[in-house]
Amino acid sequence: MAEVQGTCEGRFAGVREALARELDGDELGASVAVDLDGETVVDIWGGYRDEARTTPWTQDTITNVWSTTKCVLNLAALMLVERGELDLDAPVGDYWPEFCANGKKDVLVRHVMSHTSGVSGWEQPFSVKDMYDWPSATERLAAQRPWWEPGTASGYHAANQGFLVGEVIRRITNETFRRFVRQEIAGPLGADFQVGAKERDWGRIAPLVAPPRAEPTGEIDPDSIAVRTFTAPTMSVKATTSPEWRAADLGALNGHSNARGVLDVLRVLSLGGSAGGVRLLSEETIEQVFRQQSDGVDLVLEAPFTWGIGFCLGSPVVPYVPAGRTFFWGGWGGSLAVMDLDRRLTITYMMNRMAPGLIGNARAEAYVRAVYAAL
């Protein structure tokens, strides 16, 4: 059986065994971490950074965590709510006046945080490289019309939520999201998490391995919300290894970390707002996450999702996250973060070999089920 490094409390031995099994199967390199009631009870890793299996995944290995970054983005917005600087029920235009153009004056802050704003992507043409220009990318979002009536349905803001929420953060704080994370979140918490990646850290990055190409089934409607969202821009795994990607401020896409780094940030949400002696939120502010904003088939993901403010509250696509006072999200290919407030439990999983699908995978399911089996 594959070798697994790190620490794991005895009763969570099943999690270590699950990682070992998956490393003998489809997993290439991965890390899994669990915090229970303020203690890190699982912090394990194994496998390889590279597809040739020449460089082991080590304790300090990091990778691009795709949309798991959104969990930190929405945490940052909640911190401004906590400080009284951001009102979830206020129009986005109160903070970003230009955004009111073309029928968006009634788009609220909670809409952009819950994927219900009607602005789930950019108008064509728009490429990955266009995201590297923050002023231009945000100006284009401010100028366009919503693709559906804001607040009436969700449509996953796959690539642009980092710009929608990030620009609100920038207007309030006069700081980029990237700097806000470094100064206000990762720094105080001592977490190995960054938006993008500094050049000095490139040597410890495990490049992502793209999932098998899925052949489309049925007819594709080029005018559908899903196609318009996922083709403006069309995501590229190869782009994540470029200096431009690593230097960019992509609050929905280019967080770099591992399971322990993400855990050290997000356990704040499961523990009532503070961790390691650092308080970022009150319990009252965390409760805002549970304000349901939509419940039905997401126009972009084309499957049922229940969205609260900033996080997913449940979906049959991810049935292994239990119901109750839990919320979660993750990244393309399978990375996942689960926050369970009733149990004061946080589970994180980051990996480099991507699986098909936008959220969760069979490997993530194995680890989450093993954690809950141990409780």
Distance of alpha carbon 238 from alpha carbon 114, whole angstroms? 28
| Span 260-288, pLDDT tens digits | 999 999 999 999 999 999 999 999 999 99
pLDDT of residue 215: 63
Give the pLDDT band of residue 212 (cuts 50, 70, 90).
confident
Burial environment of residue 322 by CB neighbours within 10 A (0 to 12, 13 to 18, 19 or more): middle
What's at 203, amino acid-wise? G
Q: DSSP letter for 139, please.
A: H
Mean pLDDT, the chain, rounded, equals 97
Closest CA to 164 of 115, 199, 197, 211: 115
Domains parsed from the chain with CATH numbers: 4-374 (3.40.710.10)
CA 131 from chain center: how many Å? 17
Mean pLDDT of 177-205: 98
Give yes or no for residue 222 having a pLDDT over 70: yes
Distance in angstroms (rounded) separating the CA atoms of residues 92 and 368? 36
* Closest listed residue to residue 121, CA positions, set 17, 233, 32, 207: 233
- pLDDT at position 221 is 83
Instruction: Give how far Cα 208 sits from Cα of 94, 135, 241, Å.
Output: 39, 28, 8
Q: What is the pLDDT of residue 213?
A: 77
pLDDT tier for residue 216 given thresholds of 50, 70 and 90: low
Give the Cα separation of 19 and 41 in Å (integer).
15
What whole-number distance in Å separates Cα of residue 59 and Cα of residue 43? 9
pLDDT at 322 over 80: yes
- When pLDDT is averaged across residues 104-116 and rounded to a whole number, the result is 98
Contact criterion met (CB below 8 Å) for 256 and 335: no
| Cα Rg of the chain (Å, integer) | 19
- How far apart are the C-alpha atoms of 298 and 302, rounded to whole Å? 5
230 contact partners, CB below 8 Å, separation of at least 6 = 121, 158, 300
> Closest Cα to residue 65, out of 332, 353, 312?
332
The yes-or-no verdict on residue 8 having pLDDT over 90 is: yes
* Residue 103 near residue 143, CB atoms below 8 Å: no
Max CA distance (Å), the chain: 58
**Residue pLDDT, tens place only, 237-265:** 999 999 999 999 999 999 999 999 999 99
- For 5, phi and psi rounded to 5 degrees? -100, 165
Residue 217 has pLDDT above 70, yes or no: no
What does residue 339 show for φ and ψ, rounded to 5 degrees? -115, 120
pTM: 0.97
**Tokens at residue 66, please?**
């795709």
CA atoms within 13 A on the CB side of 268: 29
The pLDDT score that the predictor gives to residue 358 is 81
Residue 223's pLDDT is 86
Model pLDDT, residue 1: 85
Q: CA 11 to CA 4: how far, in whole Å?
A: 16
Per the CB < 8 A criterion, the answer to whether 77 and 168 are in contact is: yes
pLDDT at 218 over 80: no
For residue range 30-74, list pLDDT tens digits in order.
Answer: 999 999 999 999 999 999 999 999 999 999 999 999 999 999 999
Question: For 167-191, what is the mean pLDDT?
Answer: 98
